[in-house]
Amino acid sequence: MVHLALFVFLPILLVGCSNDTSDSATIPALQPDAGSFSSPDECLRAYYSAIKNNNAAAFNHASIFLTDAYRDSFFDANIATDLAFKKLNKSMIGQFGESVKTLPVPNDTLLEKLQTIPVETIDPGKAVWKHGGAKSLELVKIDGSWKVDLRSMEEMFPSLTTFDPLQKIATQITAIAADVDSQAITNQDGVRSALSNLK
């Protein structure tokens, strides 16, 4: 199970959809001293809301990793990616008008999917969320509270450089936004062309 958000959404980047373009989120974030999660659905909502809100304490509360360093790198890569998309969406609206089709922000889109795709409880202490095709996210119940379990991803890809591609693409998307702002890119076709060259 690999949960690298951008890799999930690269195939649909060139299509576009309506999304929140604010740099900060509006969904209330879980506080670090909050109680336990009584259901896997509640845990997942808190997990994605924490990324949407750039709330590391809430993210830590809703997830479990093998090491803090890996958790922090994963969180930072997701935040960088989401903020880059939101920046590009703002730039596109500013230059091309309110009617422009903006780009799907990866973790925001997964949060929306929770409204229609249920979490499957496998047994009293384990659940899985199949959010598209073969992609899934595991949850476990620890000391009475549900957690998004990313330990298997850390075992499979232990190097912190695992997230370098996400950070690199976030930097490239931010550069595309700057080109839109400076009018080096003057239309949506130019944005699509630039996105198609992401590496």
Q: Write out the chain's pLDDT in tens, 199 residues.
A: 334 443 333 333 333 333 444 443 333 333 333 558 999 999 999 999 999 899 999 999 999 999 999 999 999 999 999 999 999 999 999 999 988 888 888 878 888 888 888 899 989 999 999 887 667 889 999 999 999 999 999 999 999 888 999 899 999 999 999 999 999 999 999 999 999 988 7
The answer to whether residue 65 is domain-embedded is yes
Interaxial angle between packed helices 164-181 and 188-196, expressed in degrees from 0 to 180 and rounded to the nearest 10:
160
d(CA 14, CA 104): 9
Strand-strand pairing, 126-132 and 120-123 = antiparallel
The answer to whether residue 74 is domain-embedded is yes
The answer to whether residue 23 is domain-embedded is no
pLDDT of residue 99: 86
d(CA 89, CA 91): 5
pLDDT of residue 106: 82
pTM for the full predicted model: 0.77
pLDDT of residue 78: 92
pLDDT of residue 136: 84
Strand-strand pairing, 63-64 and 145-149 = parallel
The answer to whether residue 133 is domain-embedded is yes
Handedness of CA 19, 178, 15, 116 (dihedral sign): negative
The answer to whether residue 21 is domain-embedded is no
pLDDT of residue 35: 59
pLDDT of residue 133: 63
Total number of domains constituting the chain: 1
The answer to whether residue 184 is domain-embedded is yes
CB hemisphere CA count around 110 (13 angstroms)? 29
pLDDT of residue 68: 94
The answer to whether residue 16 is domain-embedded is no
Q: Which two tokens stand for residue 153?
A: 């991803």
Domain that holds residue 187: 5-10+34-196
